[in-house]
Structure 1
Amino acid sequence: MREPERIEIQLSKSKLTLLFLGSIMFVGLGVWYVISPPKVNISVFSNPTIVFIVGLASILFFGLVGFFIFKKLFDKSPGLVISAEGVFDNSSGVSVGFVPWTDIDEIKETKVLNQTFINLVVKNPQDYIDRQKSAFKRKSIQINYKSYGTVIGISANGLKIKFKELKALLDERFADFNRKSA
């Protein structure tokens, strides 16, 4: 029986460009809220302090998101590599790198605000947290772990593949690995 081929899924520059433009738009809205808050008849947004905080949060969050997307636009590496050994994740700003099939307990879907993620539930999540050099990445991965029970969440949003195809491919390769190692 021959080994399954290595599959490289490239980053989608067009999807990333749209995501980057969306983040810039939200940064712009945040700046507008901070500099010249709109007058609205919604009780929560009639408080200038709340409008300022929402604007500032928008600038910080979407500015950071935009920064990571911008970096990915110039990344020549594949977004995801699936091989007989495991999965190499380079799909986002907080990717963990190589995840061997032997570390994966389960592959599941999670939906967060109409955004679907493929979660790789690993046996040793703390190892993946500890190997992050950046404090920001480490903290982001810890938040993922506390919120969703996994340190690895993969989105097809920045990849040249549809979500269902990616999920089916990962499920198939994980099942192949489990059959061979049983």
Structure 2
Amino acid sequence: MNNRIEIQISKKKIILLLIASIGFVICGIMFVYDPQNFVSEYLIRYRMFNNPEMIRIIGFVAIVFFGIIGFYGIKKLFDKKVGLIIDSSGITDNSNASSIGLIEWNDILDIRTEQVVSTKFLLIDIENPEKYIGKAKSRMKAKLMRSNMKMYGTPLSITSNTLKYNFRELQKLMQTEFKRNKNVG
């Protein structure tokens, strides 16, 4: 029995991501251009915001980081691929910047949840992380995966932030499919 579950990319979520990244890039430009006029009195209480050079550095980092996110958002907006496919082979992930494609059920040891600030994501613990890091098509993607590996013990993560799916439902679905497909293999 080959149940195939397809979860599409949410264009609405991608557009919101783009709007937010554009806003942060604009703030970053303002920090770089005129750091003393664009920092509120509330932030000046913190020591690092008293230093115009530090504000410029923060602005530059914001421009680069959110510029990359904006670029990724534009790319995803026109991406015709399905965001996530779950079938008898495994999980085919196309949901985020560090997505690697097919994650085979045989390689998956566990699926767990992690939260950073208000963002929840699923971590896919796998037997051979280097196999999947080696599938990265760019140095940046491999670097992102290695960073995930250092922080969470696995290079693979899935979030519902770009999917037409609620995180809690995605979490239930992934756990159910993992148990069902692990028992078959």
TM-based fold match above 0.5: yes
Task: Give me the whole-angstrom Cα distance separating, in 2, the residues matched to 1:86 and 1:80.
Answer: 10
Three-state SS of the structure 1 residue aligned to 2:181 is helix
| 1:124 correspondence with 2:165 | no
Aligned length: 179
Matched with 2:143 is 139
Letter in 1 for 2:105: W
Percentage identity across paired residues of the two chains: 40
RMSD value, Cα? 1.1
Q: TM-score scaled by structure 1?
A: 0.95
- Kindly indicate whether the alpha-carbon contact (under 8 Å) linking 1:31 and 1:59 is maintained by their aligned counterparts in 2: yes
Task: Give me the whole-angstrom Cα distance separating, in 2, the residues matched to 1:28 and 1:167.
Answer: 35
Task: Give me the whole-angstrom Cα distance separating, in 2, the residues matched to 1:20 and 1:149.
Answer: 30
Matched with 1:174 is 178
Structure 1 residue ranges without an equivalent (≥5): none
Three-state SS of the structure 2 residue aligned to 1:60 is helix
Moved more, 158-167 or 39-48: 39-48
Runs (4+) of structure 1 exceeding 4 A deviation are: none
- Kindly indicate whether the alpha-carbon contact (under 8 Å) linking 1:27 and 1:58 is maintained by their aligned counterparts in 2: yes
Task: Give me the whole-angstrom Cα distance separating, in 1, the residues matched to 2:183 and 2:101.
Answer: 24
| 1:25 correspondence with 2:29 | no
Task: Give me the whole-angstrom Cα distance separating, in 2, the residues matched to 1:179 and 1:137.
Answer: 32
Q: In the TM superposition, what is the alpha-carbon distance from 1:47 to its structure 2 partner?
A: 0.2
Q: In the TM superposition, what is the alpha-carbon distance from 1:5 to its structure 2 partner?
A: 1.4
| 1:72 correspondence with 2:76 | yes
Three-state SS of the structure 2 residue aligned to 1:106 is strand
Q: TM-score scaled by structure 2?
A: 0.93
